[in-house]
Amino acid sequence: MLTQKQCLCNYRIFKKSKLLTEEADTIIDEAMDLTYTTELAGIMELTESLEDYLEIILKLQETNRVARSKDIAENLGIQRGSVTSMLKNLAEKGLINYEPYGYITLTGQGKKVALEITRRHAILKDFLTRVVQIESEKADLMACRMEHNIDRESIDKLVKFVKFIDNCPRTGEDWIDSFVSFCSSGPKDFEGCLKCLKLCEGRHNMNRQD
């Protein structure tokens, strides 16, 4: 049986990480008008556990159209009886539709919150694996911990930074490869830096011609 954290971290793993931040943004744009902010979640006093429940319900709803208490408990690796109080809490906040022994679905606002949490996780994992070069499984666990504590303004700045790395002629894949080399063998000499700058300039000139 997977633990609660493992189940959540296995949810919505994006492949081809270079496109991940754009893909995450597309999911949000298509699913809702972006009226949700993390400040709203703060007003609702959503704990990490409540956000975890919303993620699981979203996952089950996308797979089965609805969620059941039994399925939520199984995904979280806990007893079914432990789920009831959390579901009542979410229902009181207007984030899920819930009746005892009935099906569970996200409300419109609940889906917005769940999608935003999923977006944060995807962006954070992309940054940790592709830019910082942290091993995928470890990055997944770190992203799970970080996603509950980063606000919308900060995550949007991180998206812009990753896009800058992908598109600026001074950075790009060569820049990340150089960072990998730096981590494994230490700083390059001055001549190596000049050579890298010339390669960047050549790539930039080619892109301008295209």
Please tell me the distance from the alpha carbon of residue 163 to that of residue 185, in angstroms, as a whole number: 27
Over range 48-57, report the average pLDDT: 93
- Chain mean pLDDT for the chain: 76
Residue spans in the chain of domains classed CATH 1.10.10.10: 4-165
- CATH 1.10.4160.10 corresponds to the domain 4-165: no
User: Using one digit for the tens of pLDDT, what is the confidence trace for 178-208?
Assistant: 777 777 766 556 666 677 677 777 766 776 6
pLDDT higher than threshold 80 for residue 96: yes
pLDDT for the residue 114: 94
Query: In this model, does residue 168 exceed pLDDT 80?
Result: no
Is 50 exceeded by the pLDDT of residue 134? yes
